Amino acid sequence: MSETTGIGRNYVSYVYIELGATPFTDLNNNWAYTQIFWEQKFWQQPIYIHVEYRALLTNSYENDFYLGLAYTFTSSKGFLALEPLYRYGPNAGHGAQLSVVGGWEWKYVSLAHFTDLYWTSKMTTPLTMYNECRCFFKICPKFYVGAIGIMAYSFQKKMDALSASVALRLNL
């Protein structure tokens, strides 16, 4: 995975690229994922206009577009953002999403978390939650090693996904 974040006085930009594979015996579980967003504010309050694009390439292709607001709380070590968003994807249809996103950076440790609660017009469940936590340790200025935990739940009788993986991160 590779990610880069740009933070200016009135904007936040983010690009994330992830390539993954499960054991080589099952080639249908290889994937490429990208997420790109831009947040811009035109006033003093910590409220940004949020525009985002996400794409997932497996043995099929999915992409989604997002538009909304981000209310961001910042500190010297990180941030916490609340994002009510409109979302649209050709496979998912129109919908709504509430994201809670956080990221903290210390000298040798980086923590990131996001939770998406969403509904789209083509879903068969009333609501879905996707939660991801990332913990990375700095090896050198641009290279990290760590773990990613994922949980997905559609508020039915059982959890949809629960996984943990070891990851390498390169900051561009």
* pLDDT confidence of residue 136: 92
pLDDT at position 133 over 80: yes
Q: Check if the beta carbon of residue 52 is closer than 8 Å to that of residue 68.
A: no
CATH code, residues 2-171: 2.40.230.20
Pick from 46-50, 81-85, 118-122, 156-160: least confident: 156-160
CA distance 120 to 115: 16
Beta-strand relationship, 143-153 and 128-140: antiparallel
Boundaries of every domain in the chain: 2-171
- pTM of the full structure: 0.84
* pLDDT confidence of residue 168: 81
* pLDDT confidence of residue 160: 84
Dihedral of CA 15/162/104/30: which sign? negative
pLDDT at position 2 over 80: no
